[in-house]
Amino acid sequence: MWHDAGTIVIGPGWENLARTGNKLQAKVLADQCGVPVLRAMDQPTGNVDEARAFATQVGFPVMIKAVDGGGGRGIRLVREEQELDSGIQRAISESPSSTVFVEKAAVHGFHHIEIQVIGDGTGQVRHLWERDCSVQRRFQKVVEYAPALMQDRDLIGRVIDSALRMASEIRYRSLGTFEFLVNEQRGEFYFLEINPRLQVEHTITESISGIDLVQTQLLLSEGYALSDLGLGVNTRASPPANCFSLQLRLCAEDPSNNFALSIGKVTEFNVPTGNGIRVDSNVTTSGNNPLVVGSSFDNLLAKIIVTASSWEGTVRKAQRVLHDSRISGVKTNINLLRGVVAHADFMAGKVDTQWLGSKLNEVLEIGERLSKEIRNKEGLSGSSPQLPIAQGSMPASSMLFRKGDAWSITLEPLSKTGSQQTEKIAHHLRLSRVLRNEFPSSLAAEIEYTTPSSQTAVPYRMQFETTSTAASALVSSSHRRGDPKNPRHVVLPLSGKLIEILVVEGEDVAENQVLAFVKQMKMELEVRSPRAGKIQWVYEMEDEEEDVAEGMLLVELEDEPGRAKGVEVRGKL
């Protein structure tokens, strides 16, 4: 599609985006085309009272959705009234426009089904069948597969027809994903939203259709028609025979710790490939630019796409790929993935949008047992800090160094030899500029150094390449490290960006009260107090959003007898 400025727009164009880019506008389009929709507010709002009033009217459970969210951002499932205000406020904070709407939730027995649609802007549209993306946690997809395993292909055909009807109505151009909730037992479905772009999970559609979607998108942007690309005749509702594909999202996160982001440098990455196995990744572990996982970007390390002629064959192949994969340097969700593909429900296709949440402990137990068997077979200790299957200690990059961090270093001779002094000698270091931080493997910085013989700071450049220091034992010198065994300490259980502290010194807090919010990529996590008490000390933020490391002391409570419970972290999207 040519723009007035002489550039080519790769994508639907502004006319399509005006009808599809906003969730509420897309629901209006669905309603106009006779496609079932869940009851929702007519207009977006940033007013908590308005959202609360509608939620009370339609009854719980409800979904709070940012009108301009995506990838799970700005979505809250609210099952009870006491969760409502918090859910609305967090969804508003994650919305670029600070507006949300409330929608009646459909949560029992529903599959998340996506229809891949292609259009050339003339009203001619076709589909490339469906994907089932029901294996989710917090509305973020973990495993996707195509085609759906539902027996009722007539129901799937009706969903496909609905997507095509909407796409044809607006003369859709380029690639688009039309998303629905589908309940096979009830024989009903509801339109969710349109993603007017290439999806992360487009790979499995490519696998079952044999069509390069990236190339197709580029050709459509140059003005080719569907018929020019051999895509002019629409397909039947039944997918290609003897072809199944699934995608596993390998992410740098710790499922056993509330899916906390794992920050660090990937030191080993080995995912096998072969017939029917595709690995999309930009991870490098050697050279000058090894991949470092930070808190600002998505933590997806790789997409593992497995394809075979039967569903059972596809799952068995996925199990083998995960069995042979080795990742070090950061914690990953490989245990979760191993548990998913080994679970009987997954093999049987009995997974809906609530399945992973309800079976999470069981899935993780299966995955951890399988990983332990791998370690035992390879003669590795379960407590080794260098496990090649991403079960190691906290990565080094959680060390946060900033300009102004300072240390006093005291040198004291162990014995007196000759004229050597026996008194302690104090030196002082202050960071003036951090050049490279890959601590503990390497660190380069400009420092101000004060010696015992001079009180004037002298500038130096400091650099080292190796160290045996355990990064998990330290945080930035400008932070206090907490003691998880100290009942007075509320210790930050994860790394990320500290975006808000809700309490002050001298304030009384209740058990389970929200103390702060930490952001990891597009997710905001609540840090809650493990017990009631009065705040004696609280960390003072210097910036609006501040990088923080796992283990930092967030709050110190006054003395109180009794045993502390673990700090609770709740993550919502």
Q: Which ranges of 282-354 does DSSP label H, i.e. alpha helix?
A: 311-323, 334-342, 344-347
pLDDT at 155: 96
d(CA 19, CA 504): 46
Residue indicated by tokens 């992973």: 356
Strands 268-270 and 277-281: unpaired
The residues of the chain scoring below 50 in pLDDT are 381-398, 466-477, 562-564, 572-573
**Angle between helical axes of 202-209 and 213-221 (0-180°, round to 10):** 100
d(CA 96, CA 104): 23
User: Taking Cα atoms as reference points, which of 142, 132, 107, 110 lies closest to residue 367?
Assistant: 142
User: Taking Cα atoms as reference points, which of 94, 97, 99 lies closest to residue 41?
Assistant: 99
Find the catalytic residue in 73, 173, 197, 528.
197
Quote the CATH superfamily of domain 39-104. ATP-grasp fold, A domain (3.30.1490.20)
Quote the CATH superfamily of domain 242-391. ATP-grasp fold, B domain (3.30.470.20)
Quick: pLDDT tens for 500-513: 899 999 999 999 89
Domains 1-38+106-240 and 242-391 agree in fold? yes
End-to-end CA distance of the chain: give it in Å, rounded. 35
d(CA 194, CA 181): 13
Quick: pLDDT tens for 30-69: 999 999 999 998 888 888 888 888 988 898 899 898 887 6
50: Cα within 13 Å, side-chain hemisphere: 12
CATH class given for the domain over 489-572: mainly beta
Q: Which amino acid is at 513?
A: Q
Q: Is 338 a catalytic residue?
A: no
d(CA 386, CA 439): 16
Quote the CATH superfamily of domain 1-38+106-240. ATP-grasp fold, B domain (3.30.470.20)
User: Taking Cα atoms as reference points, which of 36, 29, 41 lies closest to residue 91?
Assistant: 41
The pair of structure tokens assigned to 62 is 């409800």
Q: In the chain, where are the structural domains located?
A: 1-38+106-240, 39-104, 242-391, 401-473, 489-572
